[in-house]
Amino acid sequence: MASITFREVEGSSPKYWMLFGFLGLFVLFGALAWNYMHHHGHVVTGMDNQIVWGLPHVFAVFLIVAASGALNVASIASVFNKPMYKPLAPLSAVLSLALLLGGLLVLVLDLGRSDRLIVAMTNFNFKSMFTWNVFLYSGFFVLVGIYLWTMLDRSVKSYSKAAGTAAFIWRLTLTTGTGSLFGFLVARELYGTAMLAPMFIIMSFAYGLAIYLMVLAAAYAWTGRALGDAVMMRLKTLLVVFVAAVLYFVVVQHMTSLYFTKFHAVEAFILRDGGGLTTLFWVGQIVIGCVVPLVILLSSLGRQRTWIMIACALVILGGVAQMYVTIIGAQAYPLDMFPGLTEKSSFFDGEIHAYAPSMPELFLGLGGVAVALLATTFAVKVLRLLPASLDDATVAKLEH
C-alpha cells in the first residue's frame, strides 16, 4: 500500500486569517448573546413556559448529532478496513470533536443557570438521559482523542483499529442517547418512541457526512491542494444512501402515527395545519433536505463538484429544519390532558404555542457553529490532518 504524506495547512495567508477572523467574530457575537441572556434571564429570548427549548437547542442538538456522524469517515477506514478512507480519517475525527464542542457549548450556555455547570458535573441522577449524555459526551472526547492520537503518532499506530472500533461503538451509543433525550419523554405526542434513537443515528450519518464533505472540499480548494474525483464520488454515493435512509425513517414514523387515531390531531398539525412549522417540514426537511439533494446527487448534476456542494448545503439546511420541527413542533402542539375536551386557561392550555426566536438565541446558536469551524480551522494548521494530495492517482494506489 502506498504511503500518504500528511501536512499541516500553512495558515499564514491573509485568506486564512480572514476566515479565522470571520469565524472569531461569530464566536464573539455568540459570547455577547450568552452574556445578554444570562444577565437578563430567558425573558429576552423567544422562549417561554410553553416553548421551553428554543433555537439554541435546535443548533445544539444538530451539532451534537452531526458530530457523531462526522466520525463516520474515520470509522469506515478503521472499523471496516477501507484503505481509501484512511487518509480522510484524521480530519473526520477532529471535525467530530469540534462539532461536539460547539454543540455542547450552546447547550450549556442556554441553561437557566449556566453558572451552575459545576453542579451538573458533580450531581448525578442516573435515571436521567441527560446524566447519561454527560458521560457519553465526555467519553466521546476521550475515545476520539485517543483514536486521533493513534492516527497521528506512529509509535501507537498499532492501536488505531482498537481505538477506532471503540470510538465507533461509542458514537452509536452517543447518538442513541441524544435521540433518547426525546424518546424517553412520556408527555409529548411526537416523542416517547424508540424510533427516535435509530432515526437520530441515520440523521447523524447524513448531516455529519454533508458537513465533512464541505469542510474537506473547502480545505483543499482554499489551500490549492489536489482533491480528486475518486474521493468525492465515493463520498457522494455514501451521502445518497444516508439521505435516502433519513427520508425512509421520516416516512415510516409519520405513517405509523397517522394510523393511530390519537395521533391524528398532532400529525395534522405538523403535516397540514401548522403554518410555518408545516412549511418548514415539507419545504425545509423533506424537499430541501432530502428530495432536492437526492435528485442532484443521482442525476448527471451529481458529477459536478459545485452541485455536490450545493446538495451538501441543502442536506445541512434540511437537517436544521428537521431539528426545528422535531424540537419546536412537539412543544408547539398543546399537551392533551383531557382527550376529547377543549381546554382553556391563563396558561395557554389547549392553544397552539407560537414561537419566534430572538436575535440572542440565533447568535448563540451560530456561535456554536463558529466555535466548531474555528476549532477545525485551527486544528488543520497545527496538526498534520490533511494529506498533501488526494488526487485520483494517489488514491488509486491506496486500493491496491
Partner 1 sequence: MSDMKPRSDSTPASPERRRFVGAATATAAGLAIAPGVMLYEVAHGRAEDQAASSAVRWGMLVDATKCATGCNDCVSACSTENGWTPVAESKHPKQAPQWIRKLELQDPLTQMETNLPMMCQHCAEPPCVDVCPTGASFKRADGIVLVNRHTCIGCRYCMMACPYKARSLVHEPLNDTQKPDVPRGIGCVEACTFCVQKVDRGDGNTACAEACTAAGHNALVFGDMNDPESEISKRLRELPTKQVRADLNLNLGVRYHGI
Chain residues in the site for partner 1 (CB under 8 A): 40-43, 47-50, 52-53, 111-114, 116-117, 119-120, 123-125, 127-131, 134, 181, 184-188, 331, 335, 337-338, 340-349
Residue 199: all three cell numbers together? 432515526
Q: Which of 191, 198, 277, 286 is nearest to 247 (CA)?
A: 286
Rounded to 10°, the helix 129-152/89-109 angle is 150
Report how far residue 16's alpha carbon sits from residue 378's, in angstroms, rounded to the nearest whole number.
10
| Closest distance to partner 1 from the beta carbon of 263 (Å) | 14
Q: Judged by CB, which is closer to partner 1: 38, or 236?
A: 38
In the chain, the largest separation of any two C-alpha atoms, in whole Å, equals: 71
| Closest distance to partner 1 from the beta carbon of 310 (Å) | 35
Q: Which of 58, 55, 104 is nearest to 361 (CA)?
A: 55
| Closest distance to partner 1 from the beta carbon of 47 (Å) | 8
Q: Judged by CB, which is closer to partner 1: 125, or 300?
A: 125
At residue 328's C-alpha, the angle toward residues 325 and 334, to 5°, is 115
Report how far residue 244's alpha carbon sits from residue 73's, in angstroms, rounded to the nearest whole number.
18
Q: Judged by CB, which is closer to partner 1: 364, or 373?
A: 364
Q: Judged by CB, which is closer to partner 1: 15, or 40?
A: 40
Q: Judged by CB, which is closer to partner 1: 47, or 88?
A: 47
| Closest distance to partner 1 from the beta carbon of 202 (Å) | 23
Report how far residue 79's alpha carbon sits from residue 17's, in angstroms, rounded to the nearest whole number.
36
| Closest distance to partner 1 from the beta carbon of 371 (Å) | 20
Q: Cβ distance 174 to 214 under 8 Å?
A: no
Q: For residue 139, what are the contacts with CB-CB under 8 A and spacing of at least 6? A: 170, 174
| Closest distance to partner 1 from the beta carbon of 45 (Å) | 8
| Closest distance to partner 1 from the beta carbon of 114 (Å) | 8
| Closest distance to partner 1 from the beta carbon of 140 (Å) | 17
Q: Judged by CB, which is closer to partner 1: 158, or 346?
A: 346
Q: Judged by CB, which is closer to partner 1: 1, or 341?
A: 341
C-alpha distances in angstroms, 382 versus 84, 150, 204, 286?
A: 24, 17, 27, 39
Report how far residue 73's alpha carbon sits from residue 78's, in angstroms, rounded to the nearest whole number.
9
Q: Judged by CB, which is closer to partner 1: 10, or 115?
A: 115
Residue 263: all three cell numbers together? 395521533
Residue 114: all three cell numbers together? 449556566
